[in-house]
Amino acid sequence: MSIMKIDGVCYSYDNKRNVLKNVSADLEAGKMYAILGPSGCGKTTLLSLLGGLDSPADGQILFNGKNIESIGLSTHRKQNAAFIFQSYNLIDYLTPKENVALTSKLPPLPILEKVGLTEEESSRNVLKLSGGQQQRVAIARALASDAKMILADEPTGNLDEDTAVEITDMLKECAHKMQKCVVIVTHSNELARQADVIFRLKKGDLRISTN
């Protein structure tokens, strides 16, 4: 059963050009989705709508069968969606443990160890970690939050190829082993091949293919 449904969604920023034209798709828990498409085609816009950062001009987005507008966008953001960004967006004067503790009542260290950080790294200021390690902290923060949807906007955009593969594998594990619904925006065809389903966005239309 789908956890999230995009139902005939249209969106434009200025009423002149439709960034999304009647886009529909079903997303399931336990799967990883990749959104591919040229710069400016609306990938971030679509991710923002899934995360309840904005509302579609037309159509609706359903979470567990309920329109997220009726759930309440702020409740949806708090309970159902966790974001991961290209530039990590951690609180930079805190340690990984403190960053994760902000979204979780669970002890942060086991979650950080699960994504590959040592206890010492988890207690360092986040700015003293590599980009790959900082992105692991962002993944731990998303996992700590209980949200079923992990929405990642170019999470490997700042990382070298090998680290990008590791981070993508980790996100895939979040989907397959933890039953999260993971959506990754990427410019990399190679990373998109790791996904279960690829959404190709072009001129406002969405094409869906299964890997």
Ligand X SMILES: Nc1ncnc2c1ncn2[C@@H]1O[C@H](COP(=O)(O)OP(=O)(O)OP(=O)(O)O)[C@@H](O)[C@H]1O
Per CB under 5 A, does 44 bind Mg ion? Answer: yes
Does the footprint of Mg ion cover residue 123 (CB under 5 A)? no
68 binds, among ligand X, Mg ion, none (CB under 5 to 8 A by kind): none
Q: Are 78 and 38 in contact (CB under 8 A)?
A: no
Phi and psi dihedrals of 36, rounded to 5? -115, 155
Q: Cite the beta strand spans of the chain per DSSP E.
A: 2-11, 20-28, 32-36, 58-63, 66-67, 81-85, 149-153, 181-185, 197-202, 205-210
CA distance 179 to 172: 10
Using CB under 6 A as the binding rule, whether residue 155 contacts ligand X is answered as no
Count the residues of the shown chain that bind ligand X, applying the rule CB under 6 A. Answer: 10
Are 185 and 117 a contacting pair, CB within 8 Å? no
Residues of span 25-64 touching ligand X by CB under 6 A:
37, 39-45
End-to-end CA distance of the chain: 19
Q: Judged by CB, which is closer to Mg ion: 44, or 64?
A: 44
Q: How far apart are CA 184 and CA 95, in angstroms?
A: 26
Choice between 41 and 142, CB closer to ligand X: 41
For position 15 contacting ligand X by CB under 6 A, the verdict is no
Could you tell which of ligand X, Mg ion, none binds residue 132, using a CB distance below 5 to 8 A set by kind? none
* x/- map, 76-115, ligand X, by CB under 6 A: ----------------------------------------
Which residues are near ligand X by CB under 6 A?
13, 19, 37, 39-45
Binding site for Mg ion (CB under 5 A): 44
